[in-house]
Amino acid sequence: MSLIDLSKHVALGIDIGGTNTKFGVVNHRGEVLEKGYLKTDEYEKVEDFIDALYEKIQPLIESHGKEKNFDGIGVGAPNGNYYKGTIEQAPNLPWKGVVPFGEMMTAKFNMPCTVTNDANAAAFGEMLFGAARGMKDFIMITLGTGVGSGIVASGKLIYGHDGFAGELGHTIVKPGGRKHWSTGSEGSLEAYASATGIAITAKKMRAEFPESMLSQFPEEEINSKTVYECAVKGDPISIEVFRYTGQKLGEALANFVMFSSPEAILLFGGVIKAGDFILKPTKLHMERNLLPIFRNKVKLVFSELNEADAAILGASALVWEK
């Protein structure tokens, strides 16, 4: 028997995305006891958003609070800053400038609140409850609408001097390459390996090779899902879209490996539904660009967590890290 009865301790995990915010009550085993969501983009003012969250969550706290102790709140949000508890200049959220989100949550809920960026939260969830259990050195790459990352070294997330470390989606993989639709940078990983980037590649290849199955879809339906459907049916152009994406991703991963020499790289997010179509070329080009001392040592694996729960789990895990 332990001195503290962990089974009575729970945390609140909140994952804030541009469209939806998901929340859950999580225990030490990583079980989501309760969950719910609300629409982020319906709240122009962050105060109204926090009030709405409170309305939804307070009943859960009250019902579980009879037998459980709420240890705190963990929040994963785009541009969430771990040191300051702020959300800063997040391009996809309705609240502009520097929002002291952690402080505001603590004032409302009367609980400690830890904030970090969404990819860091997912990495943390993976370390405690997912494919990175027991690992001390790994990199998590989230391949969704954008490309995010969380870097763990010696069992700790790397935050950097200002809390903004781990923007690997914005590293340049092809100097002078594809212009990023939002940052304006040329040749960033996100411009190629995000779902957005894959759609751009697919549209270009569809225009160049009209014989591709991709031509059966109208332009606006070309996305990583339709490309995957065509690849499964054997369309060589669609297969090439993922091969090209994997090459760019693999080249980037090789550079990341030579930085922090992780035991594993975890891939997470919608894009990994393409499976081996993307995994195999990624691995090939990663290995090809590594120094011999790093070769055939790094595991390249998909996330094991349910995508819907991972961010909530990771955010809640932040509470117990502190």
Residue 291 is a binding residue for its own copies (CB under 8 A): yes
- Please report how close the Cβ of residue 81 comes to its own copies at its closest, in angstroms: 10
Among 50, 104, 111, 172, binds its own copies (CB under 8 A): 172
Residue 258 is a binding residue for its own copies (CB under 8 A): yes
C-alpha–C-alpha distance, residues 232 and 217, integer Å? 15
Q: Pick from 190, 152, 196, 160: which is nearest to 172 by CA?
A: 190
Residue 162 is a binding residue for its own copies (CB under 8 A): yes
Residue 164 is a binding residue for its own copies (CB under 8 A): yes
Minimum CB distance to its own copies smaller for 137 or for 229: 137
Among 151, 198, 253, 266, binds its own copies (CB under 8 A): 151
DSSP string for 61-92: HHHHHTT-EEEEEEEEETTEETTTTEEES-TT
- The strand pair at 299-302 and 264-268 is best described as parallel
Among 163, 197, 246, 269, binds its own copies (CB under 8 A): 163
Q: Residue 99 in contact with residue 87, Cβ under 8 Å? A: yes
- Please report how close the Cβ of residue 36 comes to its own copies at its closest, in angstroms: 31
What tokens does 284 get?
A: 């090939």
Q: How crowded is the C-beta side of 188, counted as CA atoms within 13 Å?
A: 21
Residues 6+ apart with CB under 8 A from 53: 14, 21, 23, 38
Q: Applying CB under 8 A, what is the total number of residues that bind its own copies? A: 45
Residue 34 is a binding residue for its own copies (CB under 8 A): no
What residues pair up with 156 in beta bridges, in sequence order? Answer: 153
Minimum CB distance to its own copies smaller for 65 or for 160: 160
Q: Among the candidate windows 44-52, 110-118, 291-299, 308-316, which touches its own copies by CB under 8 A? A: 291-299
Among 64, 84, 174, 225, binds its own copies (CB under 8 A): 174
- Please report how close the Cβ of residue 301 comes to its own copies at its closest, in angstroms: 14
Residue 92 is a binding residue for its own copies (CB under 8 A): no
Q: Residue 147 in contact with residue 171, Cβ under 8 Å? A: no
Minimum CB distance to its own copies smaller for 194 or for 238: 194
Residue 165 is a binding residue for its own copies (CB under 8 A): yes
Residue 168 is a binding residue for its own copies (CB under 8 A): yes
Q: Among the candidate windows 95-103, 116-124, 172-180, 224-232, which touches its own copies by CB under 8 A? A: 172-180
C-alpha distances (whole Å) from 18 to each of 55, 71, 91, 146 are 20, 27, 9, 12
What residues pair up with 138 in beta bridges, in sequence order? Answer: 152, 264
Q: Pick from 250, 298, 257: which is nearest to 143 by CA?
A: 250
Among 79, 142, 201, 212, binds its own copies (CB under 8 A): 79
318 secondary structure, DSSP code = H
* Phi, psi at 190, each rounded to 5°: -60, -35
Q: Residue 115 in contact with residue 152, Cβ under 8 Å? A: no
Among 34, 71, 103, 137, binds its own copies (CB under 8 A): 137
Residues that bind its own copies (CB under 8 A): 79, 88-89, 135-137, 151, 153-154, 156, 158-168, 170-175, 183, 185, 251, 254-256, 258-263, 289, 291-294, 297
